[in-house]
Amino acid sequence: MGRAPLPSGSSLPAGAGIPPMPGAAVARGLPTQMQPKKEGPEQRTLVVGRGISVQGTVQDAERLVVEGTVESSMITAKELVVMPGGLFRGGVEVENAEIAGTVDGALTARGSLTVRGSGRLLGKAACHRLKVEDGGQITGQLEMLSEGSGAAKTAEAAAEPAKAIEG
């Protein structure tokens, strides 16, 4: 599929109308301040958007952001973020988790677990540090992990919403 050459008297520059190729900015010698900048090491992120439902396993994602619905038997990642309206159902093991939607299943956060005011955690959870904002709900079993790998204490959460005590 050839293209007819531009007439010799054309005012368009050579290559006009041809979509740029990825990385072409470097090849054309554009100043580095106009090229996209990378902020630190690239983090592998999976975003499940609003209205999207995913079932199965997720591998090699460092950060999982749930705006829609995710159903999985077990996911391992560095960070889990469940946005308002998002639903995670199943098992997940992460360093840190922030819940503003709903998590129904088993959650282990080796670092911190934050339940936002709109967040609901149903089932079993284990974490090293816990923060529950006013309005956040935890229903089920909560285990606080110690500095080592053992459990420090276990608490059965009441059916009423749990509230963080700031002090």
Residue 151 in any domain: the answer is yes
Residue 11 in any domain: the answer is no
What six digits make up the tokens of 16?
């006009």
Residue 163 in any domain: the answer is no
Residue 162 in any domain: the answer is no
Residue 10 in any domain: the answer is no
Residue 66 in any domain: the answer is yes
Sign of CA dihedral 35, 39, 43, 46: negative
Q: What is the β-pairing status of strands 151-156 and 137-145?
A: antiparallel
pLDDT digits (tens, 9 = 90+) for 132-152: 999 999 999 999 998 765 433
CB 78 within 8 A of CB 96: yes
Q: Check residue 42 and give its pLDDT.
A: 73
CA distance 40 to 17: 35
Q: Check residue 159 and give its pLDDT.
A: 33
Q: What is the β-pairing status of strands 151-156 and 45-48?
A: unpaired
Q: What is the β-pairing status of strands 63-66 and 45-48?
A: parallel
Residue type, 47: V
Residue 30 in any domain: the answer is no
CB 115 within 8 A of CB 97: no
Return all residues near 62 (Cβ < 8 A) that are at least 6 apart. Answer: 43, 44, 45, 77, 78, 79
Query: What's the predicted TM-score (pTM) here?
Result: 0.65
Q: Check residue 124 and give its pLDDT.
A: 96
The mean of the pLDDT values for the chain is 77
Residue 8 in any domain: the answer is no
CB 49 within 8 A of CB 68: yes
Domain count of the fold of the chain: 1
Place of tokens 């293209």: 3
pLDDT digits (tens, 9 = 90+) for 74-105: 898 999 999 999 999 999 999 999 999 999 99
pLDDT digits (tens, 9 = 90+) for 23-67: 444 444 444 444 444 454 678 999 999 999 999 888 888 999 999
Q: What is the extent of the structural domain holding 59?
A: 45-156
